[in-house]
Amino acid sequence: MSSELFRLASPQAFFPVAGKVIPWFGALAAALAAAGLYVGFVVAPTDATQGEAYRIIFLHVPAAWMSMFLYCVMAGWAGVGLALNTRLSGMMASAIAPTGAMFTFVALWSGALWGRPTWGAYWVWDARLTSELVLLFLYLGFIALKEAIPDPVRADRAGAILALVGVVNVPIIYFSVQWWNTLHQGASVSLTRAPSMARAMLAGMLLMALAAWMYSIATALARVRRIILERERDAEWVRLTKEGVGAAA
């Protein structure tokens, strides 16, 4: 089992496996998102205080969870690459970053659209909102830094250090609503206590969160395949792969 996993650390072995599983994750993402949106907009009841505006939660919370989780995964891959000098790790980190940045942007944007009707302001500089904005800049900085260095090995190393430095921001985002007075409300769902929302609302949110997971896996794998082809373009196996011929042309 573990030898099989180590075999997959080689870009050449990982490339076809990733290609095979992408459609499955894509299909799962679409099915879960359809189910989640149905539960969220048809089954789930109106909220007593916020009315229909609360339904942004079905997009906002999964996006915010994903933005933090993907950063941890990205930093994890970057750290593995830095410690073990494995080629695929840096590529995985690069492949995850745009999806993470997208979810961070969606969380900020949907939050602004939610804040206006409920709080009365699109944006406030409270600890939760500010630290999430810092997360977006960390993602963009990571992408920009890697793009700025032409040598992939050096780019991976520089990016890994930035990603690992930025990882301290993730607990700050998560616990900001407990550590300080914020306008943002506390967590409705946590591991330590029962969720403080109606069951149908929770079901819709969790379905959307699972859809976001599947979507992230599918897009990250599709992106890593492209990065593999680009970086290994001079390798024999890429030239032999039909898609490799297409990419090189």
Partner 1 sequence: MKPRHQRMIAIGAGVALIAVAAALVLKAFQGNVVFFFSPSQIANKEAPVEKTFRVGGMVEKGSLRRQADGVTVQFVVTDTAQSIPVSYTGILPDLFKEGKGVVAQGRLGPDGVFHASEVLAKHDENYMPPEAAHALSKAEADRAARSVVTSGSGR
* Residues binding partner 1 (CB under 8 A): 45-50, 54, 57, 79, 82-85, 117-121, 124-127, 164-165, 167-169, 172, 179-183, 185-188, 196-198, 201
Residue nearer to partner 1 on the CB measure, 11 or 204: 204
Residue nearer to partner 1 on the CB measure, 24 or 46: 46
CB of 141 to partner 1, least distance (A): 15
Residue nearer to partner 1 on the CB measure, 139 or 215: 139
Identify the CA nearest to 33 among candidates 205, 202, 207, 206: 207
Residue nearer to partner 1 on the CB measure, 86 or 216: 86
- Round to whole Å and give the CA distance between 231 and 124: 43
Q: Which residue has the tokens 């301290």?
A: 168
| Backbone φ and ψ of 47, nearest 5° | -80, 145
Identify the CA nearest to 78 among candidates 99, 102, 101, 97: 97
CB of 202 to partner 1, least distance (A): 9
Q: Which SS3 state, helix, strand or coil, does residue 184 take?
A: coil
Residue nearer to partner 1 on the CB measure, 111 or 244: 111
CB of 115 to partner 1, least distance (A): 9
Q: Which SS3 state, helix, strand or coil, does residue 50 take?
A: coil
- Round to whole Å and give the CA distance between 230 and 162: 23
Residue nearer to partner 1 on the CB measure, 26 or 157: 157
CB of 40 to partner 1, least distance (A): 12
Exposed / middle / buried, residue 240 (Cβ in 10 Å: 0-12, 13-18, 19+): exposed
CB of 240 to partner 1, least distance (A): 32
Let me know: does 186 contact 195? Beta carbons within 8 Å.
Answer: no
Quickly list DSSP for 54-106: GGGHHHHHHHHHHHHHHHHHHHHHHHHHHHH--HHHHHHHHHHHHHHHHHHHH
CB of 57 to partner 1, least distance (A): 7
